[in-house]
Structure 1
Amino acid sequence: MTGTLEKSRRGFPTSADHPNYKWVALSNTTLGMLIATINSSIVLISLPAIFNGIHLNPLSPGNVSYLLWMLMGYMLVSAVLVVTLGRLGDMFGRVRIYNLGFALFTVTSIALSLDPFDGGGGALWLIGWRVLQAVGGAMLMANSAAILTDAFPAAQRGMALGVNIVAGIAGSFIGLVLGGLLAEWNWRAIFWVNVPIGIIGTIWAYRSLHDTGLRRPGRIDWWGNLTFAVGLTALLAAITYGIQPYGGHSQGWTNPWVLAGLIGGVLVLALFTWIEKRVTEPMFPLGLFKIRAFASGNVAGLLASIARGGLQFMLIIWLQGIWLPLHGYRYEETPLWAGIYLLPLTVGFLAAGPIAGHLSDKYGPRLFAAVGLLVMALSFGGLLILPTDFAYWAFAGLVFLNGLGGGLFAAPNTALIMSSVPAHLRGAASGMRATFQNAGMVLSIGVFFSLMVAGLSSHLPATLNDGLAAQGVPPEAAHTIASLPPVGTLFAAFLGYNPIQELLGPQLLGQLPPANAATLTGREFFPNLVAGPFHDGLMIVFWLAIGMSVIGAIASLVKSPKPVT
């Protein structure tokens, strides 16, 4: 017996008290975070291939809802469930919930790759299984930080969380490149790739991970869970649908259903707060917000997530709709190359994250988190003055700087939040931190797309009308096309379609002289046409991102009078 124990301690960790167990926990949870966040973005870049594979045009008016739910459903479900799943981890074991998430994620990946339908049925199959996949991803995200906080001593916690969190954030950018590469081969491959990784990770997790933190069994707060899920879903879904045109308006913010979702979501979340203050075992102990480091850290995390998410989507549209076509790339090639040209952003995250986590263990996390957000603000300022048709070295340097700032911020911010709460509530705290991060991504799409559409609506119609008329498009047709909501143009550029070709259609293009049709559908007409209005919209977006980053930096410096260890 003694020999077996000694062998266990010298060899591969088989128990939680093994000196190397913490590294097993770090490597497995980092793999879990990586695969969960890669899947939040891998579909974004692969949407054209997916819709072509199921023979569905995502830009047709009746299919825009499919597009939006494929785009945002995973993030929305993750944002809604992570708090509940983190609290369940506190009650029944963080490792148990985490392991179940790995298994569920793997099974749903298999189901997604086997989509047997075409058209709307195929889209609904993918959306439904993506929702279930998001449940598995939320289980991973809600409990990974809590498992690491349990496994690592305070002196190494920032480093461990740095590796884990930066891998998660980097996964959202790695997914862009990976999705583009796999979609070139077969659209189902973007789901196949999860299967071997998921099987290995699941078996590894069940064999190696152990609950080492405090567990506090209790009753499930059903009313709190229900009101939180309904309120947040209504709010985020309304923001999603607010992007779509409605009743002759370029956006849907006057849609009664959108207004009902916004107002009703806020009211239900207010009811959730009232319930949580009165139940004996709340889903989320609101008293944690009395801890200044916890509250200010989550505010900073939310603002950083909104700014980072807005940057990701705006840069993709900038590259795919303007810069890459101007530099000789065909529209159908732009999703893959946009991911490749954004690699400096990922490199910045990977370079700064673990280092910032290690240094924050030695010198404290607040200053690193604040400096990281200020570096992000500086990069947004540089992007403000960059011309639409930029020199790539300048663009690469600025997005690398942005990634560097994000890496400097992520690990210290997480360490600040997780180290400020009592040990038995780390699952709930981890879930709330992930909720702010995921909700920030959904909010960023609504906020920044709305700002961009508003900017384009005031300038693009006249510019587009004049440009089409100059190439011989009949005045009535040019006016009709120019009056269409610009959100369709943005979606087309985002998906790697030629926007003008989609707007004109084959019948109208066939009536034009071949030279004019070739000019309209060429690689320079749309980018030169939209560059000015798009840049005006970018100015608003990046100024808002600067403001959020600066406010987040100030919030990161707030100190708790009595930190919790």
Structure 2
Amino acid sequence: MMFAVAMTFIDQTIVSIAAPSIIEELNLSSSGMQWVVNAYLLTLAAFFALGGRLSDVFGHKRLMLIGTVLFVVSSTLCGAVPTGDGAQAWLITFRATQGIGAAFMFPAALAVVVAVFPVERRGRALALFFGVSGALTALGPLLGGWLTTWTWRAIFWVNIPVAIIAIALTFAARIRNERRREPVDWVGAALVVIGMGLSVLGLQQASAWGWSSAATWVCILGGLVVLTLFVGYELRAPHPLIKLHVFADRAFSADVAVLFFAMMAFVPVFFFTSVYAQVSLSSSPNQAALFLLYFFVGFAIASQWGGRILDKQGAKPALRIGTALGAVGFALWANKLTDLSLHDQWPYAAMAGAGIGFLLAPASTDAVNRSIGASYGEVTGITQTARNYAASIGLAVFGTVLTHTMTDRVAGTLTARGVSEAEAQASARSIAESVTGQADDRTPTGESPLAQLGSEAMSSIRMDFAEANQVVFYCMAGALAVAFLCSAFHPGTRVTGGEQEPQEPGAGTAATER
């Protein structure tokens, strides 16, 4: 299962590194390349809940294999994109189907792991699952940089051998394919896909369309309206896509809330740290990727401790430690960003990673253990949907904070050097959008705004960008602080092996296959 989900984690970050090479060879527009990245994340978020439900209906093993095949076929076709006028549409289409494959594969794979481990051993098992597979996200930029020196198409083809190993191991493990004989709530599925898709689309495109754009708010508010209709429909449906009564359990709700606010920092930190390292520290893309490894050292070590705490003491201690450590780690890290020294930052990057590591597996595992009456696939679909939705919000909101703060600081720097206020604002906006990747990084003359600055001015710009990132990282610390408050609502009770497990197929309700 870890081989399978490794592909979904790596593909969240690997494409960004190869973006310049893809744009050059296929002659894509800046907005077109942004859609190549976002199409995967959009469908991944929109289809997770459906993937979890289909996993129960068709069987965890079967849907994991279906998702893996869809994912790897889409990856192969992404790498085989022909040059010419249709290249952009081709690449965006198969990146979208790749996201659907991942949305089917991930909750099914996680449900397999949950199903085969008893409650008393589940914490350590999922700590290993999230620790190893989550740490592979850091390999995306490193692997992308290395493979792109050969050909950018290899960043998609690398999934082929990984998928073959995953499929072979799945058959070798002789995993049971347990499924429920229940109808699929297709109306609910359509509502959640449309609602999630519209709202995530609005959040993703807010940087390009602008927060004052009607299109941005039509998508966000329209998506939220559809999701509200989804909730109302699910409460009345005889066989709902998601059994919303699971949220009546206070511990389950606390787990999901902690995951939501923690993921607002966990996923965006990859993007903001990478861009900060390249702009403020003048690092290469590969050096920026290595910078992220400090974060993952803390993450990997703490995730194992978090799993042990869950098994011995329950989830609440791990959630309290993780959220507190993460909030302090991100705040201390933010304080050091303006030192422009990697040596001064790595302990705090590791501390921030450790905070996320402590809470990720315990919150996810405890949510599954607590969801009495729901199934493993359904509940993993809920938790992963919350995680992806939170990541989209974090990227959109923090990206806007970074751009606005950067624009104000750069404008001040240019004005101090005698540039008129109007010209300073225009140049500052162009520079901010260039370094944050939120717009085409070319001026009307074809030059990068950064290339037009002298060395003295560029030094000031690097500090301006570090100060703008400082605000973002303090916001991430704030998100972990809110997660800490949410963890206080967890009752602290434990689920043991003698208590009722989440409902899985029983006699007369499901078929069991090999």
CA contact (8 A) 2:315 2:492 kept: no
Distance between the aligned counterparts of 1:185 and 1:477, measured in 2? 44
- 1:179/1:468 CA distance change after superposition, 3 Å: farther
One of 258, 273, 291 as aligned partner of 1:315:
273
Whether 1:367 and 2:317 are equivalent positions in the alignment is: yes
1:224 counterpart residue number: 188
The residue that corresponds to 2:164 in the other structure is 199
Q: TM-score, normalised by structure 1?
A: 0.82
Residue in structure 1 matched with residue 484 of structure 2 by the alignment: 553
Residue aligning to 2:119: 154
Structure 2 CA distance, aligned partners of 1:338 and 1:174? 12
Q: Cα distance, 1:488 vs. partner?
A: 2.4
**Residue of structure 1 in register with 2:434 after alignment:** 489
**Which residue in 2 is equivalent to 1:345?**
295
Secondary structure of the equivalent of 1:242? helix
Corresponding residue for 1:69?
A: 35
- Structure 2: distance between partners of 1:556 and 1:508: 46
Residues 151-177 of structure 1: CA deviation (Å, up to 9, x unaligned)? 001111011111111223212222121
Query: Which residue does the alignment assign to 1:537?
Result: 468
Q: Which residue of 1 aligns with 2:27?
A: 55
Q: Is the 8 A contact 1:366 1:416 kept in 2?
A: no
- For residues 325 and 295 of structure 2, the distance between their equivalents in structure 1, rounded to whole angstroms, comes to 13
* Separation in 2, partners of 1:260, 1:116: 35
What is the percent sequence identity of the aligned residues?
A: 25
Residues 232, 265 of structure 1: 8 Å contact kept: yes
Task: Tell me which residue corresponds to 2:511.
Answer: none
Kept in 2: contact 1:95–1:209 (CA 8 A): no
User: Among residues 128, 152, 159, which one is paired with 1:187 in the alignment?
Assistant: 152
- How much has 1:309 moved relative to structure 2? 2.4
Alignment partner, residue 411 of structure 2: 461
1:304: how far off? 0.6
Measured after TM superposition, the shift of residue 257 of structure 1 is 1.3
* Change in 2 beyond 3 A, CA 1:51/1:209: farther
Q: 2 CA distance for matches of 1:335 and 1:504?
A: 26
Supply the distance in 1 between the matched residues of 2:460 and 2:443 (Cα, whole angstroms). 16
Partners of 1:353 and 1:479 in 2: how far apart?
46
* 1:108-187 map, 5 Å: 108-118=74-84, 121-187=86-152
Q: Aligned partners of 2:267, 2:425: CA distance in 1, in Å?
A: 33
- Give the drift of 1:240: 1.3
Return the index of the structure with the highest Cα Rg: 1
Give distance in 2, aligned partners of 1:407 and 1:507. 42
Native 8 Å contact 2:407 2:432 kept in 1:
no
Q: CA deviation at 1:195?
A: 0.9
Output the CA distance in 1 between the equivalents of 2:3 and 2:406.
40
SS of structure 2 residue aligned to 1:244: helix
Residue 286 of structure 1, aligned match among 244, 256, 260: 244
Is the Cα–Cα contact under 8 Å of residues 305 and 441 in structure 1 kept in the other structure?
yes
Alpha-carbon contact 1:323-1:389 (below 8 Å) kept = no
Equivalent position amino acid for 2:27 in 1: H
For residue 388 of structure 1, the aligned residue among 334, 338, 341 is 338
Residue in structure 2 matched with residue 528 of structure 1 by the alignment: 460
**Matches for 1:11-30 after TM superposition, within 5 Å:** 29-30=1-2
Where has structure 1 moved over 6 Å in runs of 4 or more?
Answer: none
The offset of 1:504, in angstroms, is 7.3
- Maintained 8 Å contact 1:99/1:206: no
Q: Name the counterpart of 1:267.
A: 225
What's the counterpart of residue 235 of structure 1? 199
**Unpaired segments ≥5 residues, structure 2:** 502-514
More deviation, 87-96/204-213 = 204-213
Change (3 A) 1:242 1:485: farther
The answer to whether residue 370 in structure 2 is matched with residue 420 in structure 1 is yes
Please state how far the C-alpha of 1:52 moved relative to its aligned partner: 2.2
> In structure 2, what is the Cα distance between the partners aligned to 1:527 and 1:134?
40
Q: 1 CA distance for matches of 2:451 and 2:302?
A: 46
Query: In structure 1, what is the Cα distance between the partners aligned to 2:197 and 2:338?
Result: 36
Instruction: Provide the C-alpha distance between the structure 2 equivalents of 1:319 and 1:349, rounded to a whole number of angstroms.
Output: 20
Cα 1:242–1:487 shift into 2, 3 Å: farther
Q: Who is 1:19 aligned against?
A: none
Q: Which residue of 2 aligns with 1:512?
A: none
- CA-to-aligned-CA distance 1:343-373 (integer Å, 9 cap, x gap): 1112222222233213321222221122112
Q: Do the aligned partners of 1:481 and 1:503 also contact (CA within 8 Å) in 2?
A: no
Matched to 2:367, the amino acid is I
Deviations 1:7-32 (A, max 9, x none): xxxxxxxxxxxxxxxxxxxxxx1111
Unaligned runs of 5+ residues in structure 1 are 1-28, 57-62, 246-251, 470-474, 510-516
- 8 Å CA contact 2:280–2:466 kept in 1: the answer is no
For residues 104 and 494 of structure 2, the distance between their equivalents in structure 1, rounded to whole angstroms, comes to 31
Q: Which residue does 2:73 correspond to in 1?
A: 107
Match of 2:46 among 80, 98, 102: 80
The equivalent residue for 1:15 is none
Q: Is 1:410 aligned to 2:342, yes or no?
A: no
**Aligned residues: CA RMSD:** 2.7
Provide Cα deviations, 1:518-550, integer angstroms capped at 9, x if missing partner: 88365x643422423x34433432232222212
C-alpha change, 1:508 and 1:352, in structure 2 (3 Å) is closer
1:508–1:455 distance in 2 versus 1, CA, 3 Å = closer
Contact 1:76 1:438 in 2 (8 A): no
Change (3 A) 1:530 1:374: same
Alpha-carbon spacing, 1:521–1:94, altered in 2? closer, same or farther (3 Å): farther
Question: Aligned pairs, how many?
Answer: 496
| d(CA) in 2 for partners of 1:157, 1:225 | 29
Match of 2:12 among 21, 40, 44: 40
For the residue of structure 2 that corresponds to 1:146, the secondary structure is: helix
